[in-house]
Structure 1
Amino acid sequence: MTMTLPYNIASSAQKPQYKPIPLLGTDCVIRSNVPLAPLTSFRVGGPAEWYVTPKKLDQLQASFQFAHSEGLPITLLGGGSNMLVSDSGLPGLVISSRNLRYINFEQETGLLTVGAGESLPRIAWKAARMGWQGLEWVVGIPGTVGGAVVMNAGAQGKCIADILVNAHVMLPDGRIEILSPQDLEYSYRHSRLQGKSILVAKATFQLQPGENPALVTAITSENFNKRKTSQPYHLPSCGSVFRNPGPQAAGWLIEQTGLKGYQIGMAQVAHRHANFILNCGGATANDIFQLIYHVQEQVEKQWSFLLKPEVKMIGDFSGALTF
């Protein structure tokens, strides 16, 4: 399908900010120069050249077709909880899944199908209150379903691959494919979708019946409180910055290297949990990028481990390292 735009995209880039471009055939619009910092949990980063938040499948397909017809690179954005956007922003079209939100639960089978934009804590609480087990551990993960499926999010020794039945994904040409966990080639914090312009539209999880809703809710609440008290959610962060390299947790290695509280600009290694980097107010993406690099450098020097980031760094960081 070839789309006819209401005016030339090259000339539209020179128009005032937030000049909307309607996606023909839908009630969705594409906006220009949209600030991304408020849309990420780090609260840093420059603007999206073009930005769209589809609510329905046809809008999502039209968004991909728009980018394809105009030769625009695509960046996929979920809840923005596991990414660091460069200070210069992102070229091309940013497609956000945050409005792909719906929940469908089959009481007879325990199958829970949710849109990619649903938050993990929300579906954890909903499942618990219905008395179904399987999602208690996701309650403290600050992200959305789409991102969790892509990165195989995990906590407490569990991960998305353990409960996923299938994921409906949209390919760059607008086709939908249904992928199983085997198709996704899951490993620790990894799937084959990472680094590709393939967006998770929805996912289905297999839950198990619990003894009663009150008990499942109590377990979920306990997990939430443990995460809240042990991890620093009082300031903007992305959650865990680095993957655990082996039996020793990344946070322990960083702490033993003496980096708790270390700061570059307004970015700081958290005192409460060393695998968190905090935006203490006014940090830039470059501050955070430099701090990530410094932590990697110091930990490798002391422990001979190169910590691999969980956080996805997108955009141009070529001039970020100034030391």
Structure 2
Amino acid sequence: MENVIKELEQADIGKVLVNEPLSKHTTMKIGGPADCLVQPKDIESIETIIRIVKKHGVKWRAIGRGSNLLVADQGIEGVVIKLGDGLDHMEIDGDILTVGGGYSVIKLATIISKKGLSGLEFASGIPGSIGGAVYMNAGAHGSDMSKILVKARVLFEDGTMDWLTNEELNFSYRTSLLQKERPGICLEAVLKLEAGVKEDIVKVMQKNKDYRRDTQPWNFPCAGSIFRNPLPEYAGALVEKAGLKGYKLGGAQVSDMHGNFIVNAGGATAEDVLNLIAFIKKTIMEQYGTELETEVEIIGRNS
């Protein structure tokens, strides 16, 4: 790793951090160190980073703002590319929006609403980055990214980049092609919005934001929804019906506000969270015969 780190530092590709605790880069405030974490200053820098890691045969992966992520206590081997400040560009051309994968979803939804453009109201209060939102087809309030995405520039697992259309991304509920069929992460997205009445859009945004604030535990470190909804059932409702609201293992606790959220109640480890997830899944299967599937992405050594 020393040669890789040295070459990355000399390449002028952005910030290079060694043995960086990933608890600093996830909304759950959990995660061991990355051997090396790089915050690229632009998309071109990512091409250089990939060339270097492939040359040395080092493992790598990309993350966004860490809002739907649980990182193992043992950390992540190799190089972690964090898409953030260097990939937060935005360009508006009429109702077409081109935005970097590192751009904050909440910030973007707020800015767009004030410009009288409709389509991102559902994203009010959704943490994380645009890249992550495309990756998992993030959604709420009856809409999701698949409804507004035209195409996405993707960095694939093999280090190549390409543009994929909405159809090619094969979106479904909280899922895209990038998760399993062809692993990759969104570097840039083109969105199609609609002109609307600014006051109406802002009103809907505020309503959605208030709903999240009143029903979800954003006052504690968490990773958003832990389980996918086993439609027509809802994961949170099943957890609450099973009497698990507030249930705690170590520092990890099922939220008192919402059954589909696990919070870091203080000093939680990834192992605490994983044990709690396993306990919830076992309980729901035994009581209701329903298998819960995790929505949060679990990564890292031994994960």
* TM-score, with length taken from structure 2: 0.95
Measured against aligned partners, the alpha-carbon deviations of 1:299-323 in whole angstroms (never above 9, x if no partner) come to: 01111111000001112346xxxxx
Cα deviation for residue 64 of structure 1 reads 1.1
Partner of 1:38: 24
Measured in 2, the distance between the counterparts of 1:175 and 1:316 equals 24
Match of 2:138 among 133, 136, 153: 153
The one-letter code matched in structure 2 to 1:141 is I
Displacement, 1:85? 0.2
Identity %: 37
Runs of 5+ consecutive residues of structure 1 not aligned to the other structure = 1-8, 14-18, 319-323
Quick one: distance in 1 between partners of 2:78 and 2:258?
36
Q: Does 2:150 match 1:176?
A: no
Give 2:29's aligned amino acid. Answer: R
Greater mean alpha carbon deviation, residues 26-35 or residues 260-269: 26-35
Equivalence map 1:73-112=2 (5 Å): 73-99=59-85, 100-107=87-94, 110-112=95-97
How far 1:197 sits from its partner (Å)? 5.2
Task: Tell me what 2:299 maps to.
Answer: 314
Deviation at 1:12, TM superposition (A): 5.5
The partner residue of 1:63 within 39, 49, 66 is: 49
Counterpart amino acid of residue 53 in structure 2: A
Cα distance, 1:224–1:20 mapped onto 2, change above 3 Å? farther
Encode CA deviations 1:168-214: one digit per residue, 9 max, x unaligned.
Answer: 11235554311011111111111111156523111011111112x12
The letter of the residue matching 1:65 is R
Aligned pairs (5 A) from 1:185-264 = 185-195=170-180, 198-211=184-197, 213-264=198-249
TM-score (norm 1): 0.89
Extract unaligned runs of 5+ from structure 2: none
Q: How far apart are residue 93 of structure 1 and its match?
A: 0.8
Counterpart Cα distance in 1 of 2:9 and 2:171:
35
**Residue aligning to 1:118:** 103
Residues 85/277 of structure 1: CA separation in 2 closer, same or farther (3 Å cut): same
Residues paired across the two proteins, number: 301
1:3 matched to which residue of 2?
A: none
C-alpha displacement of 1:61: 0.6
Residue 16 of structure 2 aligns to a residue in which SS?
Answer: strand
Amino acid at match of 1:40: T
Structure 1 residue 28 displacement after superposition: 2.5
Moved more, 301-310 or 66-75: 66-75
CA distance in 2, matches of 1:22, 1:269: 41
What is the CA–CA distance in structure 1 between the aligned matches of 2:176 and 2:107, rounded to whole Å? 23
Please, what is the CA RMSD of the aligned residues?
A: 1.7
- Distance in 1 (CA, whole Å) between partners of 2:75 and 2:191 is 34
What's 1:4 paired with? none
- Which region of structure 1 is more displaced relative to structure 2, 28-37 or 220-229? 28-37
Q: CA deviation at 1:113?
A: 1.0
Q: Residues of 2 paired with 1:309 and 1:299: CA distance?
A: 13
Moved over 2 A (4+): 19-31, 170-176, 195-199
Partner Cα separation in structure 2 for residue 300 and residue 173 of structure 1: 37
Alpha-carbon distance change, 225 to 168 in structure 1, aligned in 2, over 3 angstroms: same
Distance 1:284 1:174, change over 3 A: closer
Give the secondary-structure state (helix, strand or coil) at the position aligned to 1:306.
coil
After superposition, what is the alpha-carbon deviation per residue over 1:264-311, rounded to whole angstroms, capped at 9, x for unaligned?
A: 001000111000000011100100011011100100111111100000
1:252 touches 1:274 (CA, 8 Å); kept in 2? yes
Distance in 1 (alpha carbons) for counterparts of 2:135 and 2:45:
21
- Alignment partner of 1:28 is 2:14: yes
SS at match of 1:294: helix
Once the two structures are TM-superposed, the CA of residue 103 in structure 1 deviates from its matched residue by: 1.1
